[in-house]
Structure 1
C-alpha cells in the first residue's frame, strides 16, 4: 500500500509524519484499491482524497488528524458533501486546517517531552542547514559531499551516544520519549549499539 503523508518535519522525520485520517461509519476504513486490470500487483492507498465514493470506493464522512506513530486526533471534522458535490476530493476545495492544527498540537506534546537540544547546538544546526541549502543551489556537488560527511559524523556520534545510553541501562521507552520517536526505532538504536560493543 502506498503511504502518502500530508505533513512532515525535519525534527521528527517519518516517526511523526502526519496525515488527514478518514472516518467512514465512525471508524477508519481499509485502503482503497485501484482496478488496473489483471496482474499480481494491485495498487492501493489510504490517502484521504481517495475516499470520494467514486468507482465504488468508500465515501469519507469525516476527517481527523493522524500520525505515523499511531496517534489519532479526538476531534472529527464532518465533510460537507453538499459543497464538494460530485467532484473528486482531490479537486475539491476541502478545509484541512482542523486536522493540521490537531497534528501540530500533537507535535507540540512530543516536542515538550523530548530532550531539549543545548541552545548553541540548536543554533549551529540552523546555521548548517542555511549554509547547506545555499550551497545546494550554488554548488550542488559540494552540498552533496557535505551532506555525506555530516551523515558519517552523525552515524558515528549516534553510535557513541546509543552505546552510552546502553551502559546507563536506558529503556527503549525512555529513549523513544527523549528523541521524539517510536519505541521500535529506539529499540533498534539500542540493540545496534549493544551488538557493536560486543
Structure 2
C-alpha cells in the first residue's frame, strides 16, 4: 500500500505537474520509499513522506536523515536544495531544548525541524515552476480567456441557484468541447509533432499523448 498524500496541484495541469517535498541525502542521492511492515505476509505500508527523514525514524524503519529538502514535480523537474540543520551539536542542543519545553507547542517551536513543518519554501519553488510552465505554454487570445473565466464563474453561481440548469449547460458544453477538441487535436497532430504540442499545452510527453488520444477518439 502506497502513501496517498496529495501534493500541490494547479487546476489546469492536475497530476501532470503535481509538486511535493523531496528529500536529499548527504551524498546527494534520493532515498528509497520508507517501508512499514503492518502485519504478516505481504502487507506493508510504503511512503515517500519527507517527515520520516527527520532522524527520529533512522533506526526503526531505516529512514536516513535528510541533508536537504527540495521540491520535486511529477513532470521530472526538481527545485533547489534547501539544507537542513544537521550539525550534531546544534541538533543535540535543540533536541534537548525541546525535551525541556513545558508543553507540546513549545517543543515543536524549538525542534530543529520546526521551520520545515510548514513546507512553504518548497511550495513557493513549485509555484515558480508552474509560472514558468504557464509562460512557456501557448497563450490564449484574450477574448477566449475572458469567455472561459465568465463561463466558469457563471456556472458556479448557476450550480447553486439552479443545479438542473447548470447540469444541462455543462452537458451541452461537454459536447461542444468534445467536437472542438477533436478538430483541434487532429489539426495539431497534422501540423506539429507531439513535443511541440506538449510545450504548447504545458504537459509532459505521457500526458500529451493521453490528451490527444482522449480528444481524437471522440
Q: Same fold (TM over 0.5)?
A: yes
Match of residue 64 from structure 1: 70
Q: Residue 25 of structure 2 aligns with which residue?
A: 24
Answer with 30-39 or 141-150: which moved more. 141-150
Give 1:172's match in structure 2, choosing from 177, 184, 194.
Answer: 194
Counterparts of 2:198 and 2:176, CA distance in 1: 21
Segments of structure 2 that go 5 or more residues without pairing to the other structure are: 100-106
Name the CA distance, whole Å, in 2 between partners of 1:141 and 1:43.
Answer: 43
Work out the CA distance in 2 between the residues paired with 1:177 and 1:102: 20
Distance in 2 (alpha carbons) for counterparts of 1:97 and 1:104: 10
Supply the RMSD in Å over aligned alpha carbons: 3.1
SS in 2 for 1:104: helix
C-alpha distance 124-193 of structure 1, shift in aligned 2 (>3 A): closer
* CA deviations over 1:140-174 (Å, ceiling 9, x no partner): 56555544444443333222211111222x11110
C-alpha distance in 1, partners of 2:20/2:118? 13
Cα pair 2:178 2:215 within 8 Å, conserved: no
| TM, length-normalised to structure 2 | 0.73
State the SS of the aligned residue for 1:11.
Answer: coil
**Size of the alignment, in residue pairs?**
193
Residues 193 and 134 (structure 1), Cα distance of their counterparts in 2 relative to 1, 3 Å cut: closer
Q: Which has the larger radius of gyration?
A: 2
Query: Which sections of structure 1, spanning at least 5 residues, go unmatched?
Result: none
Partners of 1:152 and 1:51 in 2: CA distance: 48
Question: What TM-score, normalized to structure 1?
Answer: 0.79
Asked if 2 retains the 8 angstrom alpha-carbon contact of 1:4 and 1:46, the reply is no
Contact residue 70 and residue 81 of structure 2 kept, 8 A: yes
CA–CA distance in 1 between the matches of 2:156 and 2:38?
Answer: 40
